[in-house]
Each structure stands twice: as structure tokens, then as C-alpha cells.
Chain A
């Protein structure tokens, strides 16, 4: 019964002062969260200005709004229901604290309820299960009707206690401190009677504080620990555990059982508020002979006086929901499109268009044009005849982007962008990329056609070289004519001059053509590269507008959601 005496000392010392709260009922966590604790202290309707829960509630609303089109409704159902509950509870009286007595059949909930109320309000009995519908008792019932409506308590099962009238047979001073308490006697959670467990599960969602009434026989039941205490481990602040029926235990067995219970709670992950730590209060009582009941009353009085339990419970709910949503909103690793990923995407698009081949083709075009302009007239004649076939082979069609290559580029980019994202958001990124990728090949074709190099510009030196070639050709022809004339004897001149003319004309033309070919290499290469660059830029523009930007927008949206989630989770 160690827990009980500790709580009793706390209550006796301060009667609702901060020091008492710290020693008895989970002061540490509350101070850290600060939800409503600062505005407590017994003053009705005090301003609750620093309300961190409000920010978390708003963020939860935002989060749901941003997620609606991305995450399946099933996964958001719980969070949606919580948002609704948050709104409902916060609209109703926060000056009242709803405390529910829960427990297995036969643990003595109704007896304890009556002991706390000081009147025989709830039927008790030996036939199991006894209580089939919840019964309520409100101290200072003004303003509690809304709460009771929300809990679905039948009008005939609602009782009220005026705090002034109560206490004739109680310790003086304790009664006023219960003002604002709405006590609930619930059905059991483990009987074979149909519907009881459903009622309990529904009510447990709605109440502010739960008092688990255990008994020496059932305190280790799997039904209690696995179904309720483990999932509610985060609600230690608003949980009390009362070992009832200690009158059935001989000697020091009660302390042994309490220690064992604390061990089990520890295994459940439920923090036990010992030695002034935050956590659930554990008490030993006997509703039958009244042992420990004053301690419980004092403890409840303190909770009610603080008026912070409603918000604290809701905060614990938000914590739990945030924990469950974590896998939907928190991925592993860095998020965002890396520069290497963007570059890789552009490279792949360029390959899909075929910029390397097009660049080389442009280079060859330029070189060919240069040769046509600067070659020997004779060579040009024969060259054109040979190259005619190629010209036909090219046909009218220009470049066409490779659809599979574009698909692959988009897929690789989407995979890269989706890396480390939670599943729904990774899917959203992939969808955005896929949608953008659908029209991309056609767009690339259009862009490539626009960026295709026109006829190469003719540099002025081509004309000069062309003229020089004609000159050299005429020299050679003149040499030939002279030689012929000398040979037939119509011209009387020495033979070497025409030979020199012929040699200069023929060899000079070849040499000039060769020199020009060498000289044209550089400009041709530059021309080809310029063409490649232009095509690549056109492809990159296309890819950016159609895929990169929508993907980046989706990532931005995720980051926004992630920030809202951080507020919800860490408020």
C-alpha cells in the first residue's frame, strides 16, 4: 500500500498546491508539456493562453488536409476520428474532469463507485456481470450535461452531488476538492456478456482519466494487460491503478501483489509514478471496508482541482496517433532531388534524343560543305556523284526520341526522388513523374526539330579558296592547252613553262584542298559541338518543364507535410 500512503501525504501537505502535485501525480511530464497545467490551481475559467495543444491540433488538421489526396483514407481514419474528438472535448467544459472506473467483472467497480459517491447509486451484486450500462455521478453538475451527452449516459443513470451537501460523513475538506468531477461506473471489459467490451472501448476513448480497478485474482490477466494497458502505455499521466479487495489478502501479501503489479506495469511499458516521478498512480484499497478510499479521494481531488487532465489525455492521444502515423510521414534518409540525379536525367534524355550522333552528323555536314566549297572543282564533280546515294538514304525524317529510353530516364529519376520517402509520398512522386513522362517523347521530338541546325553558314574564306581553286584549275588547263599547242607546233615556246603551269595548277589545287580539309577540322568540330549543345539544352528544357518541376513540387509538398507532422508529434 506504499502508493496510497504517498499520495495521501501529497494531498495532506498541499491541498492542490504545486508541490503536492509534483509529489503525487506525475508532475514531471506535465511540466514538460505544460498543457493547461499553468492555468490550473482551482480558478474557474482562467485564461488558457499558452496552449501548445492548440498548435498541435491545428497542425493535425493541416496534416490531414494536405494528405487527403495522397494517403489512403483508411490510414487516416484514426487521425480523423481523433481530430473530431479533440474538437468535441475542447468545446465542452474543461472545468470538469471525467474519471471512469474500468476493470474486469467482479473487481468491485460499482462498490468503489458507491464508496466514492458516498451513496448507493450503482447496483452491486454477486452475479456476474453486474453493471450492464454506465452510470455517472457529477459533483457540481452545472455545465457537465454536454459531457454526459457525449458519453451517452442514459438520463436515468445520471446522478449529481452538490459538493456542499456531500461530506457529512467524510473527512472535512475533501469534498469541495471533488467539485468538477464526473465519475463514471463502466461495465466490465472481459465478460462473456455481449456488448460490454464495445461499450468500454467506446467510453475509454472519451473519458479524461481512467481508474483501473483490479483485484488480487485478476490483476495479471492477459485480457487487461495486452488489450488495454499496453496500448495505453503513453497515457500513464491520466491513469490510476487501484488494487481493490485487499481485505481478501492476508498479512503482507498486499504489498507483494502491489510490487508484482508494478513489475507487470513496467513490462507493459506503463510508467509508474513512484518517488515523485511522472506516471500512473498505483493504490491499494478495499471498497468493502474503506481502507485506502480516502487516499483515492484525495488523489482524485487533486486531479480534478488541476483541471488539466482533459488536455493531458488529449495530448497523450495525439502522441499515440502521431506515433502510429510516423511510418506515413517520416522516411529514412535525405529528401530531395540531388544535382547528380538531375544531371543523370538530362544525360539520359539527351541520349534518348540521340544528341551525340546528331552532333557528329552536324560536324560531318560542315566538313562536307567545306570540302565542297574548297575542294578541287574536279574532285567536287566526282564527289557529288558518289555522295548522291547517301543524300537519298537520309530521307526527309529528322530525329525521333527513343520512347523506351525516355521511359527509363523518367523511371530512374522517379526512383531517385522517391528514395527515402514514406510509401504514399514515394507513390505520389512516382505518379507525378509518370504523368510528366507521358507526353515527353513527343515534346522532345518537337524541341529537337526546332533545335536542329540549319544550313551551315558559309565562311568568307570558302569563296576565296573556291576562287583560288578555279584559278589553279585554269592555270592547269592553260598549261595543258599550251602543251598541246607546242606539241602540234602551233605555238613556239619552250615546253617547261606549260609543264610548270600544269604542275602548279594540278598539284596546288590538291594541296590547297588538303590544307583546307585540315583547316576545316576545327570549325567543323566546333559546329558539331554547338549543335549537340543546342539539342541537349532543348531536351533539358523539355525534361525540366515536364518532369523535374512537377517532381520538385511534389517533394516540396511532402516537406510541408513533414513540417506539420513534426508539430503534431513534437508539440
Chain B
């Protein structure tokens, strides 16, 4: 043991830490809300990155002299707890025949290293629990928040802590996530498998990840019946070599009654090799530096692939947001065009409005004006609904859009839109009446025969909305207020109508896109991720 434990294995580099914390912030704000190809993976990568930065990389770089953490991970029933117990030399972690056994992760360290692990320097998300006796509080831990149980034992060398992680393939999903998180927090990964499991698909994923990050890694082939030990070990070695992991230290632990029964400890001879390897890594300064540095460098290197992957997923998300927005904007542009065409063709002067106009002025000015306003409102409602249908049809074909439509507020509130349209039309009608009053007053001042402003307003509305059918109204309007004034009124009123419709459609379109905007998928996300990566590369 001795002084080696306090020797710094890396230099503290504030610039690098700053770059990492900037990178962490960027990763933290990245969002992948649309269920597009790669989004689930990106969300996982994001989580993993944050966990790895918080739990491992930043603490390791900030306090290079901290003890090494070796995490023991593997499948259910691989004998992780028995292995940890045997390495420590007493029962610190609950082992047993029922799966999954380890529900609360257990960290064992030398008494002198205790301070390093009791504060939230690493694994800040887990509350610490001290216990003298194992196996008393497992159930509570699952109930309220997540716990990391700390054990101290001077059987371990200084400068090394062992962590018994839950199963990587646990039936309890949270256990699985926790296991992945814990493994990511390790300086040294110890992956445990067994004679009957070494060909399972799942541990191989983990091995491949370890290779990708180039971490300091050791594998343990556990529970090997001695009569087949040689054959199985050879086969396992061949598989590892084939996967490019031939140089990884391998340790074989035989199947003994103790490993099956649970509770018992394996004889020291069974785990001596592994113990020695760990002690070497903890105590020999060169080995220690290499073990720590290799994982740090490996994780930093892995950023080069992981950040661009995140950035490209972010770009895909942004492209989807743009696509959805364009779909909505196109639909409303088409609606504007159709409304314009319909007004020119005199579509609002049909049905009730036309029936009134045919009877004008006997039916009364108010009746004609209301009927025309309703005709216009109906046209607008119908076109807005049609635009929403086009948007929905377009979005439905898009995975991002379909997900958005499935949200509770994904469909527009048609009643509210109808109210807004009615209010808009009422406003336009008021403007029309004001215009008529002003022009009639002007006409009166110019010594023309007195005209009824309400009549002028009704005629004006008919001219505007009636197309060819309403052309007679134009002649009558000219007779009433004069040709010049009639022309002026028509232009002004048409302008007002166009402005009103455009404003209304713009409002509806924005309302329709509010859920997309609310997701906050911006183009900057991608570039900021890449920028954070290049800053990191510069600082290394």
C-alpha cells in the first residue's frame, strides 16, 4: 500500500474541465422528442454521456488522486456478489439462489479511502448508506430513492474500491439502467460471465462497448465445473480473440459448492489471480496510471464518435420540425389562395346571401349584411378546416407528425377557431360600415343626393363578395355615392378584407404550429454540439 495511493495519476487541467462542462451542458439541453429513426438511440446516448461525465470523467479529471473504482458487472446469476465477497474476504454483498440478488449496489473500499466515496463526488444521483451488517435494508432501498451501500474493509488495498453492480439483464428495468450507469462510472470494468452463459448475446454487447471505449477491462469466467474448465476456457478465449479482445486479462473461477449455495465465500486460491491483478493496478504507480489514463482517454476518444452521432440525430429532429412547419405553412398558403379565388368568384354570395340579394332592398339592409357576413365566415371556416385536414393528412404520413397528432392537444380546437373567425368577420363588417359612413358624409358635403350609409355598406359588401353575381350592386353603389367614391370604397374595403384574412390565417397557422415550436427543436442544437466537441478536441 503506502504512499502510491496519493500520487496524482493525471494532471488537473481546468481548461479541459471547462470544455467538458460546456459539453455536458450542451448535451443536457439537447432534445430528441420526435420518434424518428435514431432518436431512441440518441436519447440513450445522451443519458449515457451525461452519466459518464458526471459519474466518472469529470470527477476523475478533477481529482486524479482519487482511488480507482472497479465495477463488477454481469448477467443474473453470474456470481458477481460471491466474487466480490470472496475478494474482500467476508460477506459484504448479499448472494443467493434467487434472482436478481443484488438490488442495491454495494461499494467496498479501504477505510482510509472512505472519504472519497462518502461525498457525492462520483455517482451524485445515489444516496449513501452505511451499514455494518449486510442484508438488512435491501427492501427499503428499492422503495425510497436509490441507495449506494458503502462498506469498508482493510482487506482491500488502498487506492481501489470495488463496486458490486446489479444485473445488466435484470427483469427490473431500473436495475438494468442502474447497472449500465454504474459500469460507466468505473475506471476498471470487471465483466463476469459463466460457463453456461459465456455465449449469451447480452454480455457480448457490454464487451463490445468496453472495446469501443477502450477501457481498462478484465473478464472473469465464473462457475466453471472443473472437469470442463479447460475446454470452456479455450472456447471463450477463442471467442474473445475473434471479437478483437484477445489481450484482455481473463480469469477463470471454478464452480464450487460455495458458489452455488450462496452465502459462502470461495477459497482465496480461487480468486487469487484476480486479486493480485487488482492489487497490482492499485499499488503499482505505472500500472495505476495506465489503468486510469487508458479509460479516461478511451472515453474522451469515444466522444469523437458519440457527439457527431448526437448532432446528426439532432439534425434529423430539426429537419422533421422544419418539415412539419412547412407542411402547415403550405396548407395555409393554399387556403389563402383558395379563399382569394373564392372571393373573386363570388362564392360568399350564394345560398342565403344570394336569396337576400335577389330580394334587396325589400329584405332589409341588415338581413343582407348579416347573410353576407355569414357567407364569408362559412367560407373561411370551411377553408381553415380543409387546411387542417391537409395538415393532418400530411403529418400522419410522417412519423414525427403522427406522434404529434397523437398528443392530446395535437388536434386543433375547431369551435375556438370558428369563434375567432366570427370575431374577425364582425370586425371587418364594422370597418366596412365605418367606411360607408365616411364616404356618404363626404358625398353629402359634395352636394350629392343624400344616401343611406347602411345601404352603401350592404352594396359594398355585395360588390366585394359577389363576384359577377354582385356586379349590379357596383352600378347601384356608383349611383348612390358617385363613381369615384365607389371605386375608392371598393379598393379600401378589399384591402381591409385581404389584411383581415391574412392575419386570421397567420394566427391559425401559428396556433397549429405551437406544439412543434413548444418542443424547442432548433437548428442551433446540432451546431452547438459540434462546437462543444471541437472545443474539447482543442483542449486535449
Q: Which residues of A contact B (CB under 8 A)?
A: 104-107, 126-129, 190-193, 197, 215-223, 225-226, 248-250, 253, 256-257, 260, 264, 267, 351-358, 360-361, 364, 390, 392-395, 397, 399-405, 407-408, 411
Contacts and interface: CB of A to CB of B under 8 A. Distances in A.
Contacts of A405: 350-351, 375, 378, 382
A172 to B, nearest CB: 35
Nearest to A398: B358
A220 B363 contact: no
A222 B176 CA distance: 10
Nearest to A268: B171
B128 interface: no
B379 interface: yes
Given A127-B235, A361-B363, A249 B76 contact: no
Contact of B204 (A129, A192, A215, A225): A192
14 contacts: A191-B200, A192-B199, A218-B196, A220-B100, A223-B169, A253-B97, A260-B99, A354-B356, A361-B355, A392-B472, A395-B358, A397-B469, A404-B347, A408-B381
B495 to A, nearest CB: 22
B36 to A, nearest CB: 18
A357 B169 contact: no
A360 B354 CA distance: 13
A190 B98 contact: no
Interface of B: 75-78, 97-100, 169-171, 176, 194-202, 204, 223, 228, 231-232, 235, 257, 260-262, 342, 347-348, 350-356, 358-363, 367, 371, 375, 378-379, 381-383, 385-386, 469, 472, 476
Contact of B371 (A129, A248, A267, A357): A357
Given A223-B202, A357-B352, A400-B351, A217 B196 contact: yes
A106 B197 contact: yes
B379 A256 contact: no
A349 to B, nearest CB: 10
A357 B359 contact: yes
B353 A354 contact: yes
A514 to B, nearest CB: 20
A404 B97 contact: no
B231 A127 contact: yes
The 10 closest A-B pairs by CB, nearest first: A357-B355, A106-B196, A402-B351, A220-B99, A128-B199, A354-B355, A217-B77, A404-B382, A402-B350, A354-B352
A439 B87 CA distance: 84
A186 B167 CA distance: 27
Given A190-B200, A264-B171, A402-B350, A221 B76 contact: yes
A108 to B, nearest CB: 9
A406 B162 CA distance: 76
Contacts of B351: 351-354, 399-402, 405
B197 A126 contact: no
A390 B359 CA distance: 8
B282 to A, nearest CB: 31
Contacts of B367: 357
A444 B356 CA distance: 18
Contact of A407 (B98, B257, B386): B386
Contacts of A360: 355, 359, 363
B199 A105 contact: yes
Given A217-B197, A354-B354, A402-B354, 15 more contacts: A105-B196, A126-B231, A128-B197, A128-B198, A192-B200, A192-B201, A217-B78, A217-B223, A221-B169, A257-B97, A357-B363, A395-B472, A403-B350, A404-B347, A404-B383
A407 B382 contact: yes
Contacts of B378: 402, 404-405, 408
A358 B261 contact: no
A536 to B, nearest CB: 13
Contact of A106 (B195, B352, B472): B195
A49 B433 CA distance: 83
Contacts of B98: 256-257, 260
Given A190-B201, A250-B257, A402 B352 contact: yes
Contacts of B476: 393
A395 B385 CA distance: 34
Contacts of A355: 355
Contacts of B231: 126-127
Contacts of A217: 76-78, 194, 196-197, 223
Contact of A399 (B170, B355, B371): B355
A29 to B, nearest CB: 26
A28 to B, nearest CB: 28
A126 B261 contact: no
A402 B346 CA distance: 10
Contacts of B386: 407
Contacts of A253: 97, 261-262
B356 A357 contact: yes
Contacts of B355: 354-358, 360-361, 399
A193 B356 CA distance: 81
B199 A193 contact: yes
Given A126-B231, A253-B261, A400 B196 contact: no
B461 to A, nearest CB: 15
Nearest to B168: A222
Contacts of B362: 364, 390
Q: Which residue among A360, A403, A404 has the maximum number of chain B CB atoms within 10 Å of its CB?
A: A404
Contacts of B97: 216, 249, 253, 256-257
Nearest to A251: B261
A399 B385 CA distance: 26
Nearest to B362: A364
A260 B196 CA distance: 21
A34 B199 CA distance: 43
Nearest to A224: B171
A190 B198 CA distance: 11
Nearest to A245: B196
Contact of B171 (A191, A215, A226): A226
A472 B99 CA distance: 116
A216 B97 CA distance: 7
B385 A411 contact: yes
Nearest to A535: B355
B196 A215 contact: yes
A369 to B, nearest CB: 14
B467 to A, nearest CB: 11
B199 A191 contact: yes
Contacts of B469: 397, 400
A354 B378 CA distance: 13
Nearest to A430: B389
A356 B228 contact: no
Contacts of B261: 250, 253
A129 B199 contact: yes
B436 to A, nearest CB: 19
B56 to A, nearest CB: 25
A223 B170 CA distance: 9
Given A104-B200, A219-B99, A126 B260 contact: no
A534 B41 CA distance: 66
Nearest to B170: A222
Contacts of A106: 195-197, 199
Contacts of A248: 260
**A107, A127, A249 — which one has the most chain B CB atoms within 10 A of its CB?**
A127
B393 to A, nearest CB: 10
A104 to B, nearest CB: 7
B77 A401 contact: no
B385 A218 contact: no
Given A106-B196, A354-B354, A400-B350, A191 B201 contact: yes
A404 B381 contact: yes
A212 B201 CA distance: 19
A128 B198 CA distance: 7
A352 B351 CA distance: 5
Contacts of A192: 199-201, 204
Contacts of B75: 218, 221
B358 to A, nearest CB: 5
A541 B247 CA distance: 86
Given A105-B200, A357-B359, A390-B362, A402 B228 contact: no
